[in-house]
Amino acid sequence: MDDLLARGSEKWTKYPPDVLPAWVAEMDFALAPPVRDALVRAVEIGDLGYIGNVDGLIEAMYYFYDRRLGWDLEGQYIALVADVMVGFKELLLVHTQPGDGVIVSPPAYPPYFNDIPHVGRRVVEVPLLADFGVDVDGLDRAFGAGAKALLLCSPHNPSGRVYTKDELAAVAAVAEAHGALVVVDEIHAPLTFGATFTPWQHVLEGGTVLTSASKAFNVPGLKLGFVVGEAASALDETLRYHAGYAGVVAAEAAFSDGDEWLDETIATIAANQRALPELLPEGVRLAHAPEASYLAWLECDFDDPFERFLERGRVALQPGPGFGAAYGRYVRLNVGTRPELVREAVRRMAQALD
Ligand SMILES: Cc1ncc(COP(=O)(O)O)c(C=O)c1O
């Protein structure tokens, strides 16, 4: 706890110290030792300049994605960007026009709603189905009405849903029929544990994918993301100079030597996720049994669960309405931590309902 309380990152500083943070997508684990060692070495020799030759990183990336996800990246265009959302905005600037509609499927990672208008495009909402599957007919209608692009989160944040190959193929087919761009955010993919993850490029050759080491290895502050696929070739090459060189150091070490840590981390978060249904207090349930990552989407029988848990339980979850207007009775819980802290978070939730 002392180490966690000493952290200055967002998760551990937004709320007063008596509030247990279980909100933003940062994990509480220590860094993977190879990542820590590589960063320490870089600091020790003052190696924190601009991004240079990245051949080692890209090769490590090929092996990592092939080994972990069965995704062969070799020969793909890969653009380095400051983070996944920067990559997404740059794609929109290059491949769509001002005012174009861009589809987002609530419940959706909150920045999706901000970043589309930030680059002068329009959010078009096509909510996911009740089981968090993609509403392909809804997409067809929205593309038919003029939407030019879709941002799909796979695996899905906040539900932890992993899409099947058939579902993804149906999305690819409908987008292709309308000549629309699909951008697939696969940032959580290396943390899949309960299903088989299908890389987007397995249903659409050269398709556009956002990825990063930032979620799987818990280094989002180091600012490095990747845009993969044909659409990435049109991005400005100088974008890489806005990414972090420390992110390159960390990602190369993670992709090369991070498997053991990643396996342990996945085992811990999978066990945390699987324990949740038993632990959750009455009136709060998992909206979907997660198959990937450390976020759990909770549906409550009462209004404003975020405020209630915070004020009466002193536990901070992520408020549901940020994921879409319909989610006033939802919160997102982060279980990327030790099992004791998950139990403590849930105990505080129960206390808030007493
Ligand atoms: C689905 C999803 N996309 C993107 C991000 C942000 O990634 P980045 O910091 O690389 O933009 C997150 C962070 O939690 C996320 O959950």
Q: Which of 91, 104, 109, 223 to mutate to test the pocket of ligand 1 (most atoms within 8 A of CB)?
A: 109
H-run or E-run covering 284: strand 284-286
Which residues, 6+ apart, have CB-to-CB distance to 55 below 8 Å? Answer: none
d(C-alpha 139, C-alpha 86), whole Å = 24
d(C-alpha 61, C-alpha 211), whole Å = 11
pLDDT value at residue 138: 98
d(C-alpha 290, C-alpha 318), whole Å = 16
CA 148 / ligand 1 centre spacing (Å): 22
Contact between 108 and 114 under an 8 Å Cβ cutoff? The reply is no
User: For the residues 36-46, what does the mean pLDDT come to?
Assistant: 98
Q: Residue whose CA is closest, atom 5 of ligand 1?
A: 84
Q: Which of 84, 90, 132 to mutate to test the pocket of ligand 1 (most atoms within 8 A of CB)?
A: 84
Q: Which of 114, 188, 215, 224 to mutate to test the pocket of ligand 1 (most atoms within 8 A of CB)?
A: 215
CA 353 / ligand 1 centre spacing (Å): 31
Predicted structure pTM score: 0.98
pLDDT tens-digit readout, 283-310: 999 999 999 999 999 999 999 999 999 9
* Residue linked to tokens 């940032």: 187
d(C-alpha 261, C-alpha 254), whole Å = 9
pLDDT tens-digit readout, 81-92: 999 999 999 999
d(C-alpha 232, C-alpha 101), whole Å = 20
Taking CB atoms and a 6 Å cutoff, what residues make up the pocket around ligand 1?
25, 83-85, 109, 153, 157, 185, 187, 212, 214-215, 220, 225
pLDDT value at residue 275: 98
pLDDT tens-digit readout, 86-125: 999 999 999 999 999 999 999 999 999 999 999 999 999 9
Q: What token pair was written down for 9?
A: 């990152």
Which of the listed CATH numbers 2.60.34.10, 3.40.50.10070, 1.10.1740.10, 3.90.1150.10 matches domain 2-30+260-353?
3.90.1150.10
H runs (alpha helix) in the chain: 2-6, 10-13, 33-44, 55-69, 84-95, 111-118, 136-144, 165-178, 245-257, 259-279, 305-313, 339-353
> Any idea where the domains of the chain sit in the sequence?
2-30+260-353, 35-257
Total residue length of the chain: 354
Q: How many CB atoms lie within 10 A of CB 17?
A: 10
CA 187 / ligand 1 centre spacing (Å): 6
User: For the residues 39-52, what does the mean pLDDT come to?
Assistant: 97
Closest by alpha carbon to 222, among 241, 248, 261? 248
* Residue linked to tokens 């050759």: 205
- On the question of pLDDT at 249 being above 90, the answer is yes
pLDDT value at residue 2: 87
pLDDT value at residue 9: 94
Atom of ligand 1 nearest to the CA of 24: 14
Q: What token pair was written down for 163?
A: 């899409």
pLDDT value at residue 195: 97
- On the question of pLDDT at 1 being above 90, the answer is no
Q: How many CB atoms lie within 10 A of CB 232?
A: 24
Note the CATH number of domain 35-257.
3.40.640.10
